[in-house]
Amino acid sequence: MTTPNAQQASSYTPLDLEGVRTFLATLPAIAARLGGTPDAWRVWEVSDGNLNMVFLAEGPQGSVCLKQSLPHVRVDPSWKMPLDRTFFEAAYLRAVFPHVPDLTTECLHFDAEQFILIVPGLSGHTVMRTAMMAGHFYPSVAAQVGDFVARSTFATSLLAEPFERIMDRRICFARNQTLTRITVDLVLTDPYHDHPRNHWADQQITPIVDALRASPAVQARSDSLRLRFLSAPQALLHGDLHTGSIMTDGTDTRIIDGEFATYGPIGFDAGLFSGNLILSLFATPDRAGQALHLDMIQTFWTSFKKGFLALWQDREWAEDRSTLYYATTDKSTQNFEKSLFIQNIFQDTVGFCAAEIIRRTIGYAHVADFSVLTDPSLRTTRQKAALLFAKDCLEQKKPLKSLADFLELLYLHMSAL
Ligand code: SR1
Ligand code: MG
């Protein structure tokens, strides 16, 4: 796929409901998937995220989801933005779908003039965050997301492919600079400084914000996470793997919304997902629900690690060994190198998890999870606890070397609730 020049899309028009119907009718394969005649299709808007317009269309035979970029942030029209994000989402789906066909959606069509992406509709699925806010917690979904991160990142890393293919893909995704800038600013920079985009719900949170900003260890770690995000192109990342980017019916789970895709450290995807599980944990009123979250965090990491190492092992057994970067035949050296690699991903995961918790509580884009707590003082207590946990993760006064260390720290912060 050639990167489009978004500024040259002169015929671009944002679609309304009737425009969606007309557009879909011009695409024979999509019209056949929906079945019947266009006037019989039900078309409705389901835009939910911060950036784009999203529509569903349903016909007698099936459904599709149509996503169109706007020339600005959907929730803030004064924040202008180029249109090319749906191009990168389409490119992401084309790169990873062959490796995770059961865990994401296929790109059925991309229109480079209108910046429209079409994927199959997911009827019967609910956004994972919405499901969790309604009290449905799924360890099986956590295992599936771990598997998704393992398969999508391994397949697009130097461990799986010749460097020439990786470099070509990096060239493509290196152009996703608008959304990479959002991540660098909103996730990894703004919360650690005074910035007009930051906000938080209650003044009682302010002393923790001040403490975060006054902590040399937090400042140093956030600086190194920013550098790591931009300078460790280990694999093609989803780039925004929060629980709003996951749809599930409890059995079938699909990761959507890969518009932030870029090459980066694998722990970024793992960290964002873990961070969102932990935000949901702190927003969960009861101990039983919290315990299920601990299961999900553990299950996610275990599934990721097991899946990643299994793929690595399979790769070593493959006949073509010419692109193996860890090709020593000495088993114990190999195992040592692999454990170091996973340990590095774990350290990144802890750091990006903490960064996600912090930015979703005091940055520009918050999570809805805490709105289930109707008592404002309980909501503040829980948000403060989440922030203090994240602060400890960044400071690591006691090193977090393993999942057990990480869970022990989490447990400590939960027991204070
Ligand atoms: C202006 S975009 C704000 C946030 O929404 C997206 O989903 C990403 O998480 C981004 O950081
Ligand atoms: Mg999104």
**Cα 226 to averaged position of ligand 1 atoms, centre (Å):** 16
Confidence band of 228 (pLDDT split at 50, 70, 90): very high
**Cα 311 to averaged position of ligand 1 atoms, centre (Å):** 31
Confidence band of 253 (pLDDT split at 50, 70, 90): very high
**Per-residue pLDDT for 120 more than 90?**
yes
Confidence band of 5 (pLDDT split at 50, 70, 90): low
At 41-50, the pLDDT tens digits run 999 999 989 9
Q: Is 89 in the pocket of ligand 1 (CB under 6 A)?
A: no
Instruction: Kindly list the distances between the CA atom of residue 219 and the CA atoms of 63, 98, 228, 268, 355, in Å, as whole numbers in the listed order.
Output: 47, 40, 14, 18, 11
Identity of the amino acid at 254: R
117 vs 109: CA distance, rounded Å:
6
Q: Which residue has the higher pLDDT, 315 or 215?
A: 215
At 160-209, the pLDDT tens digits run 999 999 999 999 999 999 999 999 999 999 999 999 999 999 999 999 99
- Encoded tokens for 77: 């029209």
Among candidate residues 130, 22, 128, the one with its CA nearest the CA of residue 66: 22
Mean pLDDT of 38-66: 97
Q: Is 73 in the pocket of ligand 1 (CB under 6 A)?
A: yes
**Amino acid 331: pLDDT:** 82
In this predicted structure, which of 10-14, 63-67, 386-390 has the lowest mean pLDDT?
10-14
At 281-327, the pLDDT tens digits run 999 999 999 999 999 999 999 999 999 999 999 888 776 766 676 66
* Beta strand residue intervals within 13-169, DSSP E: 42-45, 53-58, 63-68, 72-73, 76-80, 109-111, 116-120, 126-127
Chain centre to alpha carbon of residue 52? 16
**Amino acid 363: pLDDT:** 98
**Amino acid 329: pLDDT:** 67
128 vs 363: CA distance, rounded Å:
22
Q: Is 184 in the pocket of ligand 1 (CB under 6 A)?
A: no
**Amino acid 127: pLDDT:** 97
For ligand 1, atom 8, the nearest C-alpha belongs to 240
The model's pTM is 0.96
Q: Which residue has the higher pLDDT, 142 or 320?
A: 142
Nearest ligand to the C-alpha atom of residue 186 = 1
357 vs 388: CA distance, rounded Å:
10
**Amino acid 318: pLDDT:** 75
Q: Which residue has the higher pLDDT, 121 or 6?
A: 121
Count of Cβ atoms closer than 10 Å to residue 378 Cβ: 14
**Per-residue pLDDT for 9 more than 70?**
no
Q: Which residue has the tokens 């090709």?
A: 327
Among candidate residues 107, 104, 111, 94, the one with its CA nearest the CA of residue 22: 111
User: Which helix H or strand E contains 317, and what residues bound it?
Assistant: helix 287-317
State phi, psi for 74 to the nearest 5 degrees: -60, -40
| Percent of the chain scoring above 70 in pLDDT | 95
- Encoded tokens for 303: 């599934």
**Cα 84 to averaged position of ligand 2 atoms, centre (Å):** 14
Q: Which residue has the tokens 């009737």?
A: 18
> For a substitution probing ligand 1, which of 74, 79, 182, 259 has the most ligand atoms within 8 Å of its CB?
182
388 vs 204: CA distance, rounded Å:
13
Q: Is 239 in the pocket of ligand 1 (CB under 6 A)?
A: no
Work out the mean pLDDT of the chain and round it to a whole number: 95
**Per-residue pLDDT for 3 more than 70?**
no
Of the chain, the end-to-end C-alpha distance in Å amounts to 50
User: Which helix H or strand E contains 288, and what residues bound it?
Assistant: helix 287-317
Q: Which residue has the tokens 């770690």?
A: 221
Instruction: Kindly list the distances between the CA atom of residue 372 and the CA atoms of 27, 74, 126, 248, 281, in Å, as whole numbers in the listed order.
Output: 42, 25, 17, 20, 12
**Amino acid 220: pLDDT:** 98
> For a substitution probing ligand 1, which of 47, 48, 50 has the most ligand atoms within 8 Å of its CB?
50
In this predicted structure, which of 80-84, 322-326, 391-395 has the lowest mean pLDDT?
322-326
In this predicted structure, which of 234-243, 311-320, 366-375 has the lowest mean pLDDT?
311-320
- Encoded tokens for 273: 């997902």
For ligand 1, atom 3, the nearest C-alpha belongs to 365
Q: Which residue has the tokens 């990479």?
A: 180
**Per-residue pLDDT for 1 more than 70?**
no
Which residues have CB atoms below 5 A from the ion given as ligand 2?
49, 257
Instruction: Name the pairing type of β-strands 63-68 and 53-58.
Output: antiparallel
Q: Is 49 in the pocket of ligand 1 (CB under 6 A)?
A: yes
* Beta strand residue intervals within 112-201, DSSP E: 116-120, 126-127
- Nearest ligand 1 atom to alpha carbon 260: 8
Instruction: Name the pairing type of β-strands 109-111 and 253-255.
Output: unpaired
Among candidate residues 135, 118, 130, 149, the one with its CA nearest the CA of residue 308: 149
Among candidate residues 125, 16, 111, 113, the one with its CA nearest the CA of residue 63: 125
